[in-house]
Amino acid sequence: MPTIHQKALGFVKSKAPPGDVTAILAAFDDYGTNHEFLMNVGPEKGPMLTAMVAAQPEGGRVLELGCFCGYSSILIGSALPSGATLTGIEIDPDSVAIARQTVEYAGLSDRVEIIEGGSSDMIPTLTGPFDLVFLDHWKDLYKTDLIAIESNNLLRVGSTVFADNVGPLFNPEEYLEYVSTSGHYDTKYHKSHIEYTNREDGVEISVYRGK
């Protein structure tokens, strides 16, 4: 039986031509709204993420934790400034395979790399700094992984951390308390909704000011 990843990408390929990122994202949104729920950043929060990506420096680097079907990977990849790159980390092999296919179908393989592995294992292998970090994996790992990112010198002063799904449903208090009280960030909560629903969600956008 096909996985949800395979069904979603098959639907996308039936609706959107290769290389048309706008149409590909719209097809994923169609599937997530009308067929099966997809854990994408979605059309409401997506523009906030795109704005953050577009504001990064030329030749900059973006890190994504949690890739699922590759929706946010191509959203980010299509908005990267000249010479900038995205490194995505995903632990689930099915998600890795589909995310890579989505990136290739979108024509973004030259600037987007998806690495298979757990975030806690992969973070120490990375070299920094990253200008933007997008957190969208297991919510109970947000705090520990962000601390690991700091400890491995993967942020510079001014780097932005964009944390999706920190609304009340996800019990985000530990993460939100850390970015608010550690003294390492200027941070702000932005109220939103869970993708493809009317349930409250939010994103936390935090700018690193160093230790």
Q: Is 139 a catalytic residue?
A: yes
Q: Is 131 a catalytic residue?
A: no
Rounded CA gap, 77 and 162, in Å? 15
Q: Is 195 a catalytic residue?
A: yes
Q: Is 92 a catalytic residue?
A: no
From 40, 64, 90, 165, active-site residue: 165
Residue 87 CA from chain centroid, whole number: 10
From 131, 150, 164, 204, active-site residue: 164
Please answer whether residues 203 and 166 qualify as being in contact, where contact means their C-beta atoms are separated by less than 8 angstroms.
yes
Q: Is 210 left (phi over 0), alpha (psi -120 to 50) or beta?
A: left
Nearest to 67 by CA among 108, 34, 30, 33: 108
Rounded CA gap, 91 and 137, in Å? 9
Please answer whether residues 198 and 145 qualify as being in contact, where contact means their C-beta atoms are separated by less than 8 angstroms.
no
- What are the phi and psi torsion angles at 112 (to 5°)? -125, 125
Rg (CA), the chain: 16
From 150, 195, 201, 204, active-site residue: 195
From 139, 143, 145, 150, active-site residue: 139
From 136, 150, 201, 204, active-site residue: 136
Q: Is 164 a catalytic residue?
A: yes
**DSSP code of 169?**
G
Instruction: Report, as residue numbers or ranges, the catalytic residues.
Output: 136, 139, 164-165, 195
